Amino acid sequence: MTASDASLRRFLHGLPGVDQVGCEARAAGLGTRSIKTTAKAQALDLAIRMVDLTTLEGMDTPGKVRALASKAMRPDPADPTCPAAAAVCVYPDMVATAKDALGDSGVHVAAVATAFPSGRAALDIKLADTRDAVEAGADEIDMVIDRGAFLTGRYLQVFEEIVAVREACARPDGTAAHLKVIFETGELQTYDNVRRASWLAMMAGGDFIKTSTGKVQPAATLPVTLVMLEAVRDFRAQTGRMVGVKPAGGIRTAKDAIKYLVMVNEVVGQDWLDPDWFRFGASTLLNDLLMQRTKMTTGRYSGPDYFTLD
Amino acid sequence: MSPTTPARASVRKTWKLYIGGAFPRSESGYSYVVNDAKGQFVANAAMASRKDARDAVQAARKAFGGWSSKTAYNRAQILYRVAEVMEDRRPQFLDAVRQSEGLGSRQATQVVDDAVDRLVWYAGWADKITQVVGSANPVAGPYFNLSSPEPTGVVAVVAPQRSSLLGLVSVVAPAIVTGNTTVVLASEERPLPAITFAEVLATSDVPGGVVNVLTGPPAATAPWLAEHMDVNALDLTGLAGDDEAAAALEASAAENLKRVLRAPAAEPDWEADPGIDRMTAFLETKTVWHPIGL
């Protein structure tokens, strides 16, 4: 099926279409669940463990990355029971700094590569970008697909690019950096395209599928994540391989994060309720999670003054 | 046309809260009965819950940056504008205070006059308070040493229980004129003038979130505001005479060292000259050292 553009297209366009209204209604419905007390406390801790703490600014400095790394390791310095975040997500040139700051804490370093965020570069440049990041010690690579190629229907090109980047993730010792494939769903126009992109990326060997770069609005939304979760569920049913999902961008409040967790539980089940299979790409989200967590432990509403700005 | 004209369906007002420049219903969905001074039913008012209080604090915090960095001159203009719009809606306020406080028409006129005048009076203070409480301090070195007042931040106000309009204006205006933003718990039994006042604020260039008005029993929301780590000051005027409740709130407020304007023994006479104490209660002093001759 991946032998030619035509066969790939036949397969992707043969996927059942997404009922837009139904999908949005289902996502909205799942968003109304009330999660309180002990369930909420658990959800908050799980969400903190799932955060890929992200800084992707032109003005990033080694100092900022180090500060972010220490925040990822101990999000709430006042409370030793607060779990660490999953990873720190940075540009490739900051990988070494982040790796150095994180040491053997268990917090991963994720690097965005392949001419992030636009993906507008020649393939060998994208591959060199990826290899650089892997060599510098990145545990995870977040690549962007070529949306231009995808939207023109050159699916095979997108597929082969993912395969090539996947190969570039290999380390000399035989292991490989985890590959997350970013679709930039805000540019894919339709849910059908999101479903097609999900299958394409999973077939090409992506370990994670990720909604957005965070540079384009709209970024992650509940319905888009629903479509992607359904895709990883169906993919496991067909092939037995499990693929992770990472909504990124636009998730700012603990309430939103809990809505996503409810959806994961309802759509794909408990197996995915783990930082190895579900992540949040976010920066401001962590502070709100911490504020809610503090509210749960102290009983009083907290304020942003009591947490680090990043 | 039909031979019998049907009676017109009455259009009754839903009294809501005022949070972040919008008029939402209470998150809790509850409302409570508001009676007039004679005990007759007037309306159902929204009963604010702790989550409404939390949302109001969030709105006030969001508005603080913009409001406090406006020039004092601009804040004065906006407060004066509030007075203008209030003057324009005088009949509505007359009815509101007569109904809620049971005043005769001459007394009600006096109250509304005073409320409008109080706004104008405080508006005038916006660009003068710095001269009065700021100072150039002599220091033993080649420095200018200047102290100037800065707003405290988000102020939670328990508004007076008896004086539902003049009292309300007299506690809100001094807090916001210096650049603070507020969450106001209106009089429990007489909340309607506060919501009408909120409608004036909403249409007179006061940015959303600078004043947030909650209605309902203070016991349901005040403790949450007193404990809230993102509230910087607490005005307990509305708890006049209720020493026990006031003491509990003061104790909660101590956790993050909120400034507390303590509850008086009895509700103050709002027609008296207010002085500047209500403004200075919610001001911090910033002192800057600047080398001379550079």
Q: pLDDT digit string (tens) for B172-223?
A: 999 999 999 999 999 999 999 999 999 999 999 999 999 999 999 999 999 9
Q: Does A302 touch chain B (CB under 8 A)?
A: yes
Question: A301 and B54: CB-CB below 8 Å?
Answer: yes
Helices marked H in A50-171? 62-73, 95-102, 123-135, 147-152, 155-168
Q: Does A103 touch chain B (CB under 8 A)?
A: no
Question: A300 and B227: CB-CB below 8 Å?
Answer: yes
Structure-token pair, residue B6:
């049907």
Question: B227 and A304: CB-CB below 8 Å?
Answer: no
Q: Using a CB-CB distance cutoff of 8 angstroms, which residues of chain B are in contact with residue A305?
A: 229-230
Structure-token pair, residue B199:
């409608």
| A184 CB-contact burial (10 Å; exposed 0-12 / middle 13-18 / buried 19+) | buried
As a whole-number percent, the residues of chain A with pLDDT over 70 amount to 100
Query: Does residue B1 have a pLDDT over 60?
Result: no
Structure-token pair, residue A182:
């970013």
Question: A300 and B54: CB-CB below 8 Å?
Answer: no
Query: Does residue B227 have a pLDDT over 70?
Result: yes
Question: B224 and A301: CB-CB below 8 Å?
Answer: yes
A103 Cβ neighbours under 8 A, 6+ residues apart:
none
CA distance B236 to B253: 11
CA distance A253 to A257: 6
Structure-token pair, residue A137:
């010690």
| ipTM topping 0.90 | no
CA distance A87 to A95: 12
CA distance A5 to A154: 7
CA distance B113 to B275: 18
Predicted structure pTM score: 0.91
First to last CA, chain B: 86
Q: Does B211 touch chain A (CB under 8 A)?
A: no
Query: Does residue B294 have a pLDDT over 70?
Result: no
| B264 CB-contact burial (10 Å; exposed 0-12 / middle 13-18 / buried 19+) | middle
Query: Does residue A41 have a pLDDT over 70?
Result: yes
Domain annotation for chain A: domains and CATH numbers: 15-298 (3.20.20.70)
Question: A301 and B61: CB-CB below 8 Å?
Answer: no
- State how far residue A182 is from chain B, nearest Cα, in angstroms: 33
Interval B110-134 mean pLDDT = 97
Give the residue extent of every domain in chain B.
43-291
Q: In the CATH scheme, what is the code of domain B43-291? A: 3.40.605.10
Query: Does residue A292 have a pLDDT over 80?
Result: yes
Structure-token pair, residue A151:
């939207």
Q: Does A306 touch chain B (CB under 8 A)?
A: yes
* pLDDT range class, residue B4, cuts 50, 70, 90: confident
In angstroms, how far is CA A160 from the centroid of its own chain? 21
CA distance A105 to A69: 10
Query: Does residue B19 have a pLDDT over 70?
Result: yes
Question: A303 and B54: CB-CB below 8 Å?
Answer: no
A238 phi, psi to nearest 5 deg: -85, -40
CA distance B148 to B134: 4
Q: Does A303 touch chain B (CB under 8 A)?
A: yes
Q: Using a CB-CB distance cutoff of 8 angstroms, which residues of chain B are in contact with residue A304?
A: 61, 230
Mean pLDDT, all residues of chain A: 95
Query: Does residue A2 have a pLDDT over 90?
Result: no
CB pairs under 8 A between A and B: 27
Helix (H, G, I), strand (E, B) or coil at B203: coil
Residue with tokens 């059908």, as numbered in its chain: A192
Q: Does A36 touch chain B (CB under 8 A)?
A: no
What's the pLDDT at B293?
79
Helix (H, G, I), strand (E, B) or coil at A14: helix
- One-letter amino acid at A32 equals T
Query: Does residue B8 have a pLDDT over 80?
Result: yes
Query: Does residue B2 have a pLDDT over 70?
Result: no
Spatial CA neighbour of A105 closest among A90, A86, A120, A79: A86
- One-letter amino acid at A127 equals L
Contact between A280 and A254 (Cβ < 8 Å):
no
Q: Does B227 touch chain A (CB under 8 A)?
A: yes
Residue of B154, B229, B257, B258 to mutate, interface with A, max A Cβ within 10 Å: B229
Contact between A141 and A110 (Cβ < 8 Å):
yes
Q: Which amino acids of A are annotated catalytic?
A: 142, 210, 246
- How far CA A83 is from CA of A50, A286, A288, B23, in Å, comes to 10, 12, 15, 39
- One-letter amino acid at A89 equals C
What are A246's strand-pairing partners?
Answer: A210
Q: Does A299 touch chain B (CB under 8 A)?
A: yes
Total H helices, total E strands in chain A: 12, 8
Mean pLDDT, all residues of chain B: 96
In angstroms, how far is CA A189 from the centroid of its own chain? 19
Helices marked H in A15-142? 20-30, 37-49, 62-73, 95-102, 123-135
Residue of A nearest to B58 (CA): A303
Q: Using a CB-CB distance cutoff of 8 angstroms, which residues of chain A are in contact with residue B230?
A: 301-305
* pLDDT range class, residue A99, cuts 50, 70, 90: very high
